[in-house]
Structure 1
Amino acid sequence: MGQGASDEGRAPVLDVAGLQTRLARFADARDWGPFHTPKNLAAALSVEASELVEIFQWLTPEQSARVMDDAESAHRVEDEVADVLAYLLQLCEVLGIDALAALAAKIDRNESRFPVPGA
């Protein structure tokens, strides 16, 4: 069974490594590898993050909290989140960063830097 396929109605099992492999295969099949430098991927990540911000730019806090209630805006948000994640995973792949390990280490550092008040 390939990544993204389901078995008898079960949801596919998704994992970071599998998604990175799919992204790499997609780019390789289109000869995009030479363009996927750390600089270009970081720039693309920034552009996609800006497109996500653009959706919320003129919304009130209340409107932004309800953005997923509308099917069209929800679809736009999900697409931009996917684009941000795709470029982030590709950047991690190119640089040899384990994204989940980096996040876990950062949370550990933040827990030390910002202790719970009164604890």
Structure 2
Amino acid sequence: MDLNQLISKLVEFRDARDWKQFHKPNHLATAISIEAAELQEHFLWKSPDEVEGKVGDEHSCSEVAEELADILMFSLLLAHELNVDPIEIITDKLKINEIKYPVEKARGTATKYTEL
């Protein structure tokens, strides 16, 4: 299944339940934020070793993957509502980031581009 087919499947799922009324851009953006917070809960107050254990555990990893799926689904629905192509906007953003974070300055550091 390609990305457009996946988006069509999401829209079909949403429309069959008459949920479009709840999927205005501001609602979808809020839903993304809430789901991102739910994802973070899985890692809150965990040491790096605990995080690795969680990611390595099939059940825990499955729970984390469900939260990630929610974020991705709401993100794709938001892209659909904004009439933007996810592949195009990600590609464009990568080009911008290549300029902001040249390899020779950014490699191995988490420093923000304004401080490189």
> Do these two structures clear the TM 0.5 threshold for a shared fold by scoring above it?
yes
Which residue is 2:47 aligned to? 60
Distance (Å, rounded) in 1 between the aligned partners of 2:56 and 2:102: 35
Runs of 4+ in 1 over 6 A off after TM superposition: none
> Tell me, which stretches of 5 or more residues in structure 2 are unaligned?
106-116
Give ranges in structure 1 of 5+ residues lacking alignment.
1-13
Do residues 49 (structure 1) and 36 (structure 2) align?
yes
Q: Distance in 2 between matches of 1:38 and 1:104?
A: 22
The size of the alignment, in residue pairs, is: 105
Structure number with higher relative contact order (C-alpha < 8 Å, ≥ 6 residues apart)? 2
Same amino acid, percent of matched pairs: 38
Q: Return the match for 2:11 from 24, 28, 36.
A: 24
Q: Distance in 2 between matches of 1:79 and 1:15?
A: 20
Give the Cα–Cα distance (whole angstroms) in 2 for the partners of residues 68 and 15 of structure 1.
27
**What TM-score do the two structures reach when normalised by structure 2?**
0.85
Relative to the length of structure 1, the TM-score reads 0.83
Which moved further from structure 2: 106-115 or 64-73?
Answer: 64-73
Larger proportion of helix: 2
Q: Write the deviation string for residues 37-89 of structure 1: whole angstroms up to 9, x where unpaired.
A: 00100001111111000000121122213322112211101100100000000
